[in-house]
Structure 1
């Protein structure tokens, strides 16, 4: 990373990378002023339209508009985040009593409870949010790719979407590339095929199945419900998954080391971003320990192709490798939803769940 002048930085890369802007916009790219020595809080020097004035872990944060923001003045003088805890009923109660003006996220059950409130608007957006049941291919039960294939064929994705998400999802294809990604290459959908899955298990030497611990976390509740639904369907091919639900803080301590677990992945606008983080050999967030030289080569190639149609030709090869050898079973893509008081103006739900408070206003009663 090279400083050219006071307003210019040059990135000297090992290979072409078309997603620089998207990487810089994504939530893991959190930038702090070096003068703050890594400190985060009300005294931190930021570049946004609001200044943090209060921050308490487990309670919330308060902000006030900056008069010197380079992008123009915000409509709001202040806004506040309030931590309502993990109980979904707390969000419903807060919206019913008008204690808050909106929720950062609402699941399908909450939406059904609040959509009849006369002062509430429901907002939905298709995302690349998902959850993957991933396994370490170097673990005895999962070494043979036919076991991994059998687990993919054991899923009834439609049923999971209807029971867990109440329909608020679209089918996934076990390669972590979504139809909404510009480089997506459409592959044939496969229905649940228990007999084919059983044969694959038998051919891999597991005709009688096996028992294995499956690590997950209890909240948000749709993650645990998905884990339970998938584990129930795996029973039909002889796999008994013992669900080990860990508190979130404890889960994130072991998420890359647990041999078999379910992990939710957030929205990313380009598939190459997720694939590079999660499946490239030795990548920082390669929780599945997947390593495939041909996959790595194709991914590096795709990362340098600007035209999405041309990139999709390489992506098709990547998707096929993931379906054939990959370490994941992926049931769906989430349709993200939330609620907002109708008096809030200018709100648009972003698939990354970003809050663009500068664009919001609150109408007077």
Structure 2
């Protein structure tokens, strides 16, 4: 790190528990490992008794004019926060990393984890006054199945049938065993919405969440008021919630320090230590599964040649990116998306390092490499600077990279998964299967590198069905190795979530599965007036 930050406090969460799956009847309350940690860089955001009131104003680094209210279209942090404020899911990840029921009251598996029975919480009310029932759950899931571009489609391809058993029970039948299925059901796209005649209105903004939609201007602002009949009595402490899209990091910091907003995400890491010194401001960070990537389209020349992919993976100084882009707020990556805190992280997999000679070897086998790298800071903070550094690193191997600076607005719709090579980021997922199914399965909607590997797909389904921990670890180890050596993803670093708030904002222990307390700060935090 280039600077020193005084550690005022540190909290480390516990680890998720994974229960054994035995015989034909299995009950699962949690799966995977999601142990994170919280570091308070300044002030003290803990303590005080939660109380209701006030308008929470948040300045977020995401937001695009192409954003919509349709959960199937959510693709960035702004729509993620908006989603959780309006909707609930069957379960959620808590501060310890455990999967806990939300709209579900309980669940259990049988038939070797091929059949899952979900018992719904009773008396939950939608914003329009309708009472939650099993038809709402099935219609909400069906919105992401069949003819749809929803990223959750690939996650739900394993569901062969869904049926109701009364008003408060849903039964899922899977094509194969999946010990982590309940984690799949809480993918943030699969928001539970009110059904009418077997279908949901994806754009109505109506959910069971703690806040009721008042107005939404894509790429600009979201405003909502507290749901008076919210089923969680000790949640949603604010009377009003306002989200502002402020992509520029300097503008976000100015908005916080001048009192225009109460919370910001993605603190500019170059100046985090200076912000932490300001009176009345708390700067904090959590560790989780977030990683920054440079995905290459494996279906497009020259990236369809693995010699090109290997050359580029060997042509980047990961340590320097962590130092100069993350300012020490993260760790080096190893070209696969499974974080060190995941249960089946392949810790013994050799770490890939910068090797210009070997990179040149692969580049020569490919007949030379001259490529464009598209980047914008909308992809991740410092993405353009990271691309420029990458260009400098690769030049030592005779590789020519032209950095193309793209506009922030529309980056996710115009550049990501459209241009042959660009910058990207992932919040990661709580389980290996969830992450791999979302972005690496050959048929996944968000397979951003357009990579296909038969052995990988085969192992993915094997891993879901395997209940022996040791055998499952071997499967996921091999999958990480395949991604590292064959996939079109360059993953040079894992990044901490660094955010800031004014002093009156208080909270308890925080989740690290997403930014800002699992993107649920508006529900879990409060003001100390």
Superposition TM-score, scaled by structure 1 size: 0.89
Q: Evaluate the alpha carbon distance shift between residue 6 and residue 143 of structure 1 in structure 2; reply closer, same or farther with a 3 A threshold.
A: same
Q: Evaluate the alpha carbon distance shift between residue 125 and residue 73 of structure 1 in structure 2; reply closer, same or farther with a 3 A threshold.
A: closer
Q: Evaluate the alpha carbon distance shift between residue 52 and residue 114 of structure 1 in structure 2; reply closer, same or farther with a 3 A threshold.
A: same
Please tell me whether residue 360 in structure 1 is matched to residue 520 in structure 2.
no
Please tell me whether residue 21 in structure 1 is matched to residue 209 in structure 2.
no
Q: Evaluate the alpha carbon distance shift between residue 137 and residue 14 of structure 1 in structure 2; reply closer, same or farther with a 3 A threshold.
A: same
Paired with 1:17 and 1:92, the residues of 2 have a C-alpha distance of 44
Contact kept? 2:238, 2:526, Cα under 8 Å: no
Offset, 1:307: 5.7
Among 347, 353, 360, which residue is 1:198 paired with?
Answer: 360
Mapping of residues 116-195 of structure 1, within 5 Å: 116-186=277-347, 187-195=349-357
Please tell me whether residue 245 in structure 1 is matched to residue 405 in structure 2.
yes
1:181 aligned counterpart, secondary structure: coil
Specify the alignment match of 1:37 in structure 2. 201
Q: Evaluate the alpha carbon distance shift between residue 320 and residue 267 of structure 1 in structure 2; reply closer, same or farther with a 3 A threshold.
A: closer
Mapping of residues 1-365 of structure 1, within 5 Å: 1-35=162-196, 37-41=201-205, 44=206, 46-74=207-235, 76-83=237-244, 85-186=246-347, 187-202=349-364, 204-206=365-367, 209-219=368-378, 220-247=380-407, 248-306=409-467, 309-346=470-507, 348=510, 350-353=512-515, 354-364=519-529
Contact kept? 2:311, 2:360, Cα under 8 Å: yes
Paired with 1:117 and 1:252, the residues of 2 have a C-alpha distance of 37
Q: Evaluate the alpha carbon distance shift between residue 114 and residue 250 of structure 1 in structure 2; reply closer, same or farther with a 3 A threshold.
A: closer
Contact kept? 2:262, 2:501, Cα under 8 Å: yes
Relative contact order (C-alpha < 8 Å, sep 6+): which is higher? 1
Contact kept? 1:111, 1:339, Cα under 8 Å: no
Contact kept? 1:123, 1:349, Cα under 8 Å: no
Instruction: Tell me the number of residue pairs that the alignment of Structure 1 and Structure 2 aligns.
Output: 358
Quick check: which one's helix share is greater? 1
Paired with 1:57 and 1:261, the residues of 2 have a C-alpha distance of 24
Paired with 1:28 and 1:223, the residues of 2 have a C-alpha distance of 26
Q: Evaluate the alpha carbon distance shift between residue 307 and residue 182 of structure 1 in structure 2; reply closer, same or farther with a 3 A threshold.
A: farther
Structure 2: gaps (5+ residues): 1-161
Superposition TM-score, scaled by structure 2 size: 0.63
Q: Evaluate the alpha carbon distance shift between residue 105 and residue 34 of structure 1 in structure 2; reply closer, same or farther with a 3 A threshold.
A: farther
RMSD: 2.3
Structure 1: gaps (5+ residues): none
Contact kept? 1:67, 1:73, Cα under 8 Å: no
Contact kept? 2:363, 2:399, Cα under 8 Å: no
Describe the superposition over 1:274-306 as per-residue Cα deviations: whole angstroms up to 9, x where unpaired: 211222112211121211111100111112335
Offset, 1:256: 2.4
